[in-house]
Copies of this chain bind each other. A is one copy, B any other.
Amino acid sequence: MEGAGAMEWGPLAWSLLSRVRQQSPLVQCITNFVSMDLMANVLLSAGASPAMIHSLEELPEFTPNAHALCINVGTLTSHWLPAMKAAASLAVQHGKPWVLDPVAAGASSFRLKACTELVDLRPTVIRGNGSEIMALADATVGTAKGVDSAHNSMDAVEAAKSLALSSGAVVAVTGAVDIITDGHRVAGAANGVALLQKITATGCSVTALIAAFVAVDPTHAFEATASALSIFGVAAEMGIEMAKGPASLRVHLIDSLYGIDEASVLSRVKITHMK
């Protein structure tokens, strides 16, 4: 994969989506309440098999059977954190990839500490917006007022590289252009539409889609992450042609993700190596 040219991303993304559809990876999600519905439907429409299971009692039996794990701290409480940590540890122990979504990482010291502890459990991928990745990289509270980003993704490139190097994870920063880096390579994925920001949990859901893509190619997390982000963006681009606002975009986005074909992927995927 090293040195893949711009021309190769389309076939690569299509190949990974095809593998998700064929293998239907089981993706365990420990995620916030707001996102569960959309996340499960995004995973199903991409061909994956979602399972929202978070009880400490069953993690030792369940997590080792999952093909990937997605942890999202959106509606974090101290009651859920132990299960998040236990599941992450089990995933690592059993060689399963896991993906972290550090929602609103900088909104409180409790939240930042929880995210930092999760990063220490060696996620395969971390996906956040600019403010979240900067908060994590700098370990500082207060970079954004809520769950929405106060920074664009380009502001966070250096923070993302730094976080990738310190954590060992591929780091993705979503925004007008999605940035993906493993600390050495940096790619930009330019698919998607601005109206996605007016639909709750689209960021959470694309993190779960990354988990599904990484599940079918865990040794190429950089490429799988960029591909998942781009495919989701392509589905949004196809969806917006039929949409009249955020709610109809949500419907058409999922329909498009379900029906997307090779020609659309090859002609639309816009991923470029930036370094």
Q: Which residues of A are interface residues toward B (Cβ below 8 A)?
A: 24, 26, 28, 32-34, 36-38, 40-41, 44-45, 49-58, 61-62, 65-66, 74-79, 104, 107-111, 141, 145-148, 197-201, 243-248, 250-259
Question: Cβ of A199: which chain B residues have Cβ within 8 Å of it?
Answer: 41, 44
Question: Cβ of A147: which chain B residues have Cβ within 8 Å of it?
Answer: 49-51
Apart from A34-B36, A65-B145, A247-B252, list 4 A-B contacts with CB within 8 A. A34-B52, A54-B77, A245-B254, A245-B255
Given contacts A34-B52, A44-B200, A75-B53, contact A58 B110 (CB under 8 A): yes
Given contacts A62-B107, A250-B247, A255-B246, contact A148 B57 (CB under 8 A): no
Q: How far apart are the CA atoms of A36 and B245 in the complex, in Å?
A: 19
Asked whether, in the complex, the Cβ of A61 is within 8 Å of the Cβ of B108, the reply is yes
When all copies of this chain in the complex are counted, the total is 3
Q: How far apart are the CA atoms of A241 and B53 in the complex, in Å?
A: 34
Given contacts A58-B110, A61-B108, contact A258 B44 (CB under 8 A): no
Q: How far apart are the CA atoms of A198 and B52 in the complex, in Å?
A: 15
Question: Cβ of A65: which chain B residues have Cβ within 8 Å of it?
Answer: 145-146
Q: How far apart are the CA atoms of A252 and B249 in the complex, in Å?
A: 11
Chosen A-B contacts, 26 in total, with CB atoms closer than 8 Å, are: A26-B145, A41-B200, A41-B250, A44-B199, A44-B200, A49-B147, A53-B75, A55-B77, A57-B77, A57-B110, A58-B107, A58-B108, A61-B141, A62-B107, A65-B145, A66-B146, A243-B255, A244-B259, A245-B254, A245-B256, A245-B258, A246-B254, A246-B258, A247-B252, A247-B253, A251-B251
With both beta carbons as reference points, the residue of chain B lying nearest to A111 in the complex is identified as B58
Asked whether, in the complex, the Cβ of B45 is within 8 Å of the Cβ of A245, the reply is yes
Q: How far apart are the CA atoms of A141 and B61 in the complex, in Å?
A: 10
Question: Cβ of A38: which chain B residues have Cβ within 8 Å of it?
Answer: 37
With both beta carbons as reference points, the residue of chain B lying nearest to A250 in the complex is identified as B247
Question: Cβ of A253: which chain B residues have Cβ within 8 Å of it?
Answer: 247
Question: Cβ of A247: which chain B residues have Cβ within 8 Å of it?
Answer: 41, 45, 250-255, 258
Asked whether, in the complex, the Cβ of A54 is within 8 Å of the Cβ of B37, the reply is no
